[in-house]
Amino acid sequence: MTQNRFFFVHLQKTAGTSLLRRMKRQFGLDAVYPNDSDGDPIARVISVEHLVDRWRVRREEIRLITGHFPLCTTELLDEDFTTITVLREPVERTLSYLRHHRTTNDVDRERTLEQVYEDPFRFHGLIHNHMVKMFSLTTEEMTDGALTRVAFTPERLERAKKRLAAIDVVGLQGEFDAFCTELVERFGWDLGEPAYINRSGSEDVAEDFRARIAHDNALDIELYDFARGLVGAAPASSAGSS
């Protein structure tokens, strides 16, 4: 097994949990952050401060860091990482997140997707141009990890593109098997058989709601099309143009 350390920029609802299950096969539980030794199940996947604290304790054994941490988090760990990530078409990513949240949170189970979308905490924290934020945040402006609120400007999009281009292995959720094959061929990993989990089903969604999501997440759509260019895929059609 390679002795590189890996940092997986896990974007919400991009097949990251399925990938993590397979990567645990390669690295073993003790070499993955987080594992059951890392405390609170929520803090360990979202709190940068919690990660930094646990890194001080477990640094020597950790080979893979996962969790919903912005890319700039690597700068706080004083380590060279091989970086990997998976992106997803932004409208479908958002709808998947909304369905999953509604399924797993009893208080919102009877709400419509639009009502969950309009929740300020959900929208600003984990929906609005989520992918651009995860790659563009700086350590200086990051006050609450992935939940940090920022202004979305053309400059932020360009910074996200520049940083995404520097990621060692970029994948697309729609071409997930090819991404896993690249990991196996590049690093010699044993990922085992595909493990598709956390699928949230589907339901009819009004076109005007899809268009609203596309409008609100226009920078994520640009970043996603940029990612498609990086992996040699044809540009995706904007979900807001239909």
pTM of structure: 0.91
Q: What is the pLDDT of residue 233?
A: 67
Q: What value does the mean pLDDT take over residues 126-141?
A: 98
Domain boundaries, the chain: 6-241
Q: What is the pLDDT of residue 2?
A: 44
Band of the pLDDT at 203, cuts 50, 70, 90?
A: confident
Alpha carbons 108 and 115: distance in angstroms, whole number: 9
CATH architecture of 6-241: 3-Layer(aba) Sandwich (3.40)
Task: Give the pLDDT band of residue 195 (cuts 50, 70, 90).
Answer: low
Paired tokens of 108: 């919102």
Q: 10 Å Cβ neighbour count for 124?
A: 16
pLDDT digits (tens, 9 = 90+) for 160-170: 999 999 999 99
Q: How confident is the model over 38-61, as a mean pLDDT?
A: 97
Q: What would the 3-class secondary structure string for 13-73 be? A: CCCHHHHHHHHHHHHCHHHEECCHHHCCCCHHHHCHHHHHHHHHHHCCCCCEECCCCCHHH
Whole-number pLDDT of residue 241? 32
> Does the pLDDT of residue 199 top 90, yes or no?
no
Query: Is 12:93 a contact under the CB 8 Å cutoff?
Result: yes
> What's the pLDDT tens digit per position in 95-123?
999 999 998 888 888 899 999 999 999 99
Rounded average pLDDT over 17-28? 94
pLDDT at 194: 78
Whether the upstream peptide bond of residue 194 has omega within 30° of 0, thus cis, is no
Residue 235: per-residue pLDDT: 54
Structure confidence at residue 105 (pLDDT): 84
Average pLDDT of the chain, as a whole number:
92
More confident residue, 193 or 158: 158
pLDDT above 90: residue 21: yes
Chain-centroid distance of CA 59 in Å reads 23
Question: SS3 for 85?
Answer: strand
Ramachandran bin of 137, using left for φ above 0, alpha for ψ from -120 to 50, beta for the remaining angles: beta
Give the model confidence (pLDDT) of 206-240 as tens digits.
999 999 999 999 999 999 999 999 998 655 544 43
